[in-house]
Amino acid sequence: RTDPLVLGIETSCDETGIGIVRGTRLLSNTIASSMDEHARYGGVVPEVAARAHLDELVPAITAAVAEAGIRLDDVDAIAVTSGPGLSGALMVGVGAAKALALALNKPIYAVNHLVGHVGADLLRTGTDDAEEPLEYPTIALLVSGGHTSLLLVRDLTSDVELLGETIDDAAGEAFDKVARVLGMPYPGGPHIDAAALTGDPGAIRFPRGLSKQKDMAQHRYDFSFSGLKTSVARWVEQHEDAGQPVPINDVAASFREAVVDILLTKAVAACVAYDVPRLLLGGGVIANRRLREVAAERADAAGIVLRIPPLSLCTDNGAMIAALGAQLIMAGHEPSSLDFGADSTLPV
């Protein structure tokens, strides 16, 4: 089946994402975020996210179908994120996808959210057709408020290996927690990024957890950010207790530098160890200016081809889920049977 028309549903966290693709061509990508509702709690509240999906799903589907210029009945298949993510949030999307598949009598594909992020790279809008999709195998570094994962992707539809993931906080979560320490609003990543612009990244040497070369030599690529977060909090507290002014911009820049260093040291080490000179970035933290800058420098120095999809496709969205569904169909995979559930810890 070439170029199937697929509607993708993504509800693993706070974004209600509906995307429609024809093969690798992006037709529409509608996103409604409940972030504003979570802001006053300082983090995503699972039940609030699930309720918001229930409110937003049907309007998002209607909007995506209209924008794509299709009729709902035209789609060849439905693809939906079945995990990993917040259980209640996933359940809303999975339930809606099954109902749609049954009502339209179309096949359904349950897909993994993290693999979906890799699928985002395939999407073409029609203006960037000159750019070839990334070849496989590739290493993918996915960093958001919910995940920090390093994947070795040999084949998008059949062979994805998790090389490492965070053992505590996600990188975006660390940004958000440190931002709170510095008195910035939630989500704090963009605020830290802005403050760091005028700070000195070398002002304070914060610890880089789990970054021993020895571990990486043994193919251990897990991440840890909670020690870093605690170290920043303690540094700020000590200065406040001593009545000294806290150089917020220097703290922001030094913290940001540590996160970027941790992420890219491992990603590049994996590229080298597996002899895979391709690195794909994804997730909302990719908006970070320093991360993009250092990624470009280090990739260049190591002879690695770096790929960063447009930000609208890096943050959680339905189009990447639809794109992965289309790849599964084109690779001849069978649809999922309707008895799959939502799995908050779904492995890749």
Q: Which residues bind ligand KG4 (CB under 6 A)?
A: 13-14, 144-146, 172-173, 175-176, 187-190, 193, 283-285, 287-288, 315-316
Phi, psi of 3 (to 5 degrees): 45, 55
Strands 25-33 and 77-83: unpaired
Q: Tell me whether residue 143 or residue 326 sits nearer to Zn ion (CB atom).
A: 143
Q: Which is nearer to ligand KG4, 42 or 335 (CB)?
A: 42
Instruction: Restricting to residues 291-330, name those near Zn ion by CB under 5 A.
Output: 316
121 is known to lie in a ligand binding site: no
Residue 114 · residue 127 · CB < 8 Å? no
Q: How many CA atoms lie less than 13 Å away from 330 in the CB half-sphere?
A: 18
**DSSP assignment of 287-343, as one string?**
G-HHHHHHHHHHHHHHT-EEE---HHHHSS-HHHHHHHHHHHHHTTPPPPPTT----
Cβ pair 189, 288 in contact under 8 A: yes
Binding partner of residue 325 among ligand KG4, Zn ion, none, CB cut-off 5 to 8 Å per kind: none
> Which entry of Zn ion, ligand KG4, none binds 141, CB below 5 to 8 A by partner kind?
none
Instruction: Describe the crossing of helices 226-241 and 248-273 by its angle, rounded to 10 degrees.
Output: 160
Cβ-based nearer residue to ligand KG4, 65 or 204: 204
The residue to which tokens 């789609």 are assigned: 75
**Phi and psi, residue 90, nearest 5°:** -60, -40
Q: Under rule CB under 5 A, which residues in 32-61 are in contact with Zn ion? A: none
Is 147 annotated as a binding-site member?
no
Q: Which does 225 bind (CB under 5 to 8 A by kind): ligand KG4, Zn ion, none?
A: none
Interface of this chain with Zn ion, residues 129 to 188, rule: CB under 5 A: 144
Closer to ligand KG4 by Cβ: residue 165 or 193: 193
Residue 284 contact, options ligand KG4, Zn ion, none, Cβ 5-8 Å cut-off depending on partner type:
ligand KG4
144 annotated as ligand-binding = yes
- Report the C-alpha gap between 193 and 228 in whole angstroms: 17
Using the rule CB under 5 A, is 222 a contact of Zn ion?
A: no
List, in sequence order, every residue forming a beta bridge with 30; answer none if it has no partner.
18
Residue 288 binding result from ligand KG4, Zn ion, none, given CB thresholds of 5 to 8 Å by partner type? ligand KG4
339 is an annotated ligand-binding site residue: no
193 binds, among Zn ion, ligand KG4, none (CB under 5 to 8 A by kind): ligand KG4
Q: Tell how far CA 324 is from the center of its chain.
A: 14
Binding positions for Zn ion, rule: CB under 5 A: 144, 316
Binding-site sequence positions: 113, 117, 142-146, 176, 189, 193, 288, 316
